[in-house]
Amino acid sequence: MLNFSFVNPTHIHFGEQQISTLAVNIPLDAKVLVVYGGGSIKSNGIYEQVASALEKHVWGEFAGVEPNPSYQTCMKAVELVKAHNYDFILAVGGGSVIDGCKFIAAAACFEGEPWEILSKGAPVESALPIGVVLTLPATGSESNSFSVVSNLQSNDKLPFATPLVQPKFAILDPNVMTTLPTRQLANGVVDAFVHTMEQYLTYPVDAKVQDRFAEGLLMTLMEEGPKVFAKDAPYAVKANIMWSATMALNGLIGAGVPQDWSTHMIGHELTAVYGLDHAQTLAIVLPRMMMEQKEAKREKLLQYAQRVLNLDMSDEDAAIKQAIEKTEAFFHSVQMPTRLRDYGLGEEVADKIVAQLERHGMVALGEHQAVTLEKSRSILLQCV
């Protein structure tokens, strides 16, 4: 096992009716800016629950953080924060709203041009406190310190990370999933699955706890994922998916193990250039990445085939091939397409995305830095 330091300071409040705990989770003397997206919270009752819980607080709101939050929109919220001296940010939404709030919280305290936090890794020295009401289980952003923000003018979709933007608390009520459209449910299951794979499917370091936690998450997502689309999906199905998504990227399974993230880095460029949803890009890239890296990942692929998929291991090469096919079939089982052509895209994608990767210095990705630009090109061509 590799050395690691681990802390996850986000206080999770999980279950039905937990939104009402906002009343006590945010200090009464805070001036709260409630930030949300395109308005789904207004039609599904979450806004009312938040407003009622904040009855005794002083608060205002900022609406319109878009999927793949933009720097341009976030900066409008920063202006509002500064103009009205808000000192607490409450994110009510999915990964995009939460990531947007992380950037807003950092940018509001930043001296200089906040875009440089993303473009140049300019250090963040302080940030406003953030709380979260999660409405879409997928990214894990509700209890981690990462954020990904897009610049609409330059086609950049760039990450930053600092413990200063880790949410103080996150409220996870699985009932919020009732109004999620099929596409977003699929996005959530696939994103959580691929987060787990990026931290599991590398090479063995004898990290038995992390491996078995990761295997538990993969198995849970495969078992419960296909059930969540039914109109009357049980609460337990939603709860298990929601908790899996949080656990997949809260630092626990990634502590002390090598990590990959090459699928994500290529995926971010696909979103920046072609506007595909984040998880849609992952479902396209991951099976091809597994195939391209099958020798480097051989031992973990075999472990995955045996322990997660319960495959016949008498012919190892056949088991690996089947494991990759089963992964892609799982994506289909949660109504997620896995090819560029499903979105009307073809071979032209390869040059464009490789140029983006090069521009962003993503020239040696993965746990062995073995995914060169040439390999990325080959993977993208196989994605057609």
Q: What are the angstrom distances between the C-alpha of 220 and each of 192, 195, 202, 251, 375?
A: 11, 14, 20, 18, 32
| Closer CB to ligand NZQ, 172 or 176, in the complex | 176
Whether 141 and 95 have beta carbons less than 8 Å apart is answered as yes
Whether 152 and 72 have beta carbons less than 8 Å apart is answered as yes
Select from 12, 34, 37, 193 the one that contacts ligand NZQ (CB under 6 A). Answer: 37
Q: What are the angstrom distances between the C-alpha of 317 and each of 9, 202, 305, 311, 332?
A: 42, 17, 11, 12, 23
| Closer CB to ligand NZQ, 129 or 140, in the complex | 140
Residue with CB nearest ligand NZQ? Answer: 37
Q: How far is it, in rounded angstroms, from Cα 290 to Cα 288? A: 5
**What minimum distance in Å lies between the beta carbon of 197 and ligand NZQ?**
12
- Rule CB under 6 A: say whether 151 interacts with ligand NZQ: no
Select from 10, 18, 139, 280 the one that contacts ligand NZQ (CB under 6 A). Answer: 139
* DSSP string across 76-91: HHHHHHHHHT--EEEE
Select from 19, 35, 158, 180 the one that contacts ligand NZQ (CB under 6 A). Answer: 180
Q: Which stretch binds ligand NZQ (CB under 6 A): 139-147, 219-227, 234-242, 308-316?
A: 139-147
Please count the helices (runs of H) and the strands (runs of E) in the chain: 15, 10
Whether 34 and 90 have beta carbons less than 8 Å apart is answered as yes
- Rule CB under 6 A: say whether 138 interacts with ligand NZQ: yes
Q: Which does 93 bind (CB under 5 to 8 A by kind): Zn ion, ligand NZQ, none?
A: ligand NZQ
**What minimum distance in Å lies between the beta carbon of 318 and ligand NZQ?**
32
Q: Which sign, positive or negative, has the C-alpha torsion 36, 285, 182, 193?
A: negative
- Rule CB under 6 A: say whether 176 interacts with ligand NZQ: yes
Whether 90 and 137 have beta carbons less than 8 Å apart is answered as no
- Rule CB under 6 A: say whether 148 interacts with ligand NZQ: yes
Select from 12, 19, 130, 136 the one that contacts ligand NZQ (CB under 6 A). Answer: 136
Q: Which stretch binds Zn ion (CB under 5 A): 64-72, 123-131, 188-196, 268-276?
A: 188-196
Q: Which does 184 bind (CB under 5 to 8 A by kind): Zn ion, ligand NZQ, none?
A: ligand NZQ
Select from 67, 114, 131, 251 the one that contacts ligand NZQ (CB under 6 A). Answer: 67
Q: How far is it, in rounded angstroms, from Cα 332 to Cα 283? A: 9
Q: Which does 141 bind (CB under 5 to 8 A by kind): ligand NZQ, Zn ion, none?
A: ligand NZQ
Select from 8, 20, 21, 44 the one that contacts ligand NZQ (CB under 6 A). Answer: 44
- Rule CB under 6 A: say whether 174 interacts with ligand NZQ: no
Query: Binders of ligand NZQ among 250-279, rule CB under 6 A?
Result: 264, 278
Whether 90 and 31 have beta carbons less than 8 Å apart is answered as no
| Closer CB to ligand NZQ, 38 or 303, in the complex | 38
Select from 99, 173, 191, 224 the one that contacts Zn ion (CB under 5 A). Answer: 191
- Rule CB under 5 A: say whether 269 interacts with Zn ion: no
Strands 146-151 and 156-161: antiparallel
| Closer CB to Zn ion, 191 or 277, in the complex | 191
Backbone angles phi, psi at 165, to 5 degrees: -105, 10
Q: How far is it, in rounded angstroms, from Cα 269 to Cα 375? A: 15
Query: Binders of ligand NZQ among 85-104, rule CB under 6 A?
Result: 93-97, 99
Q: How far is it, in rounded angstroms, from Cα 284 to Cα 126? A: 37
**What minimum distance in Å lies between the beta carbon of 68 and ligand NZQ?**
4
* DSSP string across 218-283: HHHHHHHGGGGGSTT--HHHHHHHHHHHHHHTSSTTTTTS----HHHHHHHHHHHHH---HHHHHH
Neighbouring CB atoms inside 10 A of 64's CB total 16
Q: How far is it, in rounded angstroms, from Cα 44 to Cα 81? A: 26
**What minimum distance in Å lies between the beta carbon of 157 and ligand NZQ?**
7
Q: Which residues bind ligand NZQ (CB under 6 A)?
A: 37-40, 44, 67-68, 93-97, 99, 135-136, 138-141, 144, 146-148, 176, 179-180, 184, 187, 191, 249, 264, 278
